[in-house]
A and B are shown apart, each in its own frame.
Chain A
Amino acid sequence: KAGVTQTPRYLIKTRGQQVTLSCSPISGHRSVSWYQQTPGQGLQFLFEYFSETQRNKGNFPGRFSGRQFSNSRSEMNVSTLELGDSALYLCASCVGRGNTEAFFGQGTRLTVV
């Protein structure tokens, strides 16, 4: 069974640009959550999607957005990039509700210069 796939693995962007990250969950998993990981801050919850609906959102500015498609694949978008957006972005999928095991992708390392 294929795991969670995130693309691209690495990105370098310039301040002010926008970026789109992709996540394909494990087959049969309908819930996708996104996290931002930075040294010292741990994993910060961005948002969670289930059946194309955003069910919860973390405390991030509106520059961070996401969506989920009918095949459960999800994308997150960050507009007007800032230096502080440099981080590892992790996607996690689980079968249904958030009270079950989450399986993480390898992450996308975003560097904003």
Chain B
Amino acid sequence: QKEVEQNSGPLSVPEGAIASLNCTYSDRGSQSFFWYRQYSGKSPELIMFIYSNGDKEDGRFTAQLNKASQYVSLLIRDSQPSDSATYLCAVYTGGFKTIFGAGTRLFVKA
């Protein structure tokens, strides 16, 4: 079992729709959770982080964390073609080590 799992996609949504990206992790002691966006040929950049159970909203983005289910998700409202990218879920497991999932490719159709 991989430490951080994501559906590789591609996830295709029409412009204006909600994109839902999911991630599960194996280490129950994981402390911090991050979503990074990576455009083709570019480096990952942070979109959101979440530390506590529940929802955290930032503009069109909402991160959701459920530690009991070891599940974290990212919702993108009013998806735009510019949101088309690979989204990486990252989990800080402690011990100065952050584990990344393989990423979900999102394609927003205009």
The number of residue pairs between A and B whose CB atoms lie closer than 8 Å in the complex comes to 56
Range, interface on chain A: 20 to 34
CB contacts (< 8 Å) of A100 on chain B: these are: 32
Q: Mark A28-51, 1 if CB is under 8 A from B, else 0.
A: 000101010000111111001010
Q: Mark B89-110, 1 if CB is under 8 A from A, else 0.
A: 0101001111111110000000
Bound complex: CA A101 to CA B50 (Å): 11
CB contacts (< 8 Å) of A56 on chain B: these are: 95-97
Q: With A42-B101, A43-B100 given, is the CB distance from A99 to B45 under 8 Å?
A: no
11 more CB-based (< 8 A) A-B contacts, given A45-B100, A98-B97: A41-B102, A42-B103, A48-B97, A55-B96, A98-B32, A98-B96, A99-B31, A99-B32, A101-B46, A103-B46, A104-B43
A-B pairs, top 6 by smallest CB distance, nearest first, are: A42-B102, A43-B100, A104-B43, A55-B96, A99-B32, A56-B97
Residues of chain B whose beta carbon lies under 8 Å from any beta carbon of chain A? 8, 31-32, 34, 42-46, 49, 51, 88, 90, 92, 95-103
Residues of chain A whose beta carbon lies under 8 Å from any beta carbon of chain B? 31, 33, 35, 40-45, 48, 50, 55-56, 58, 90, 97-107
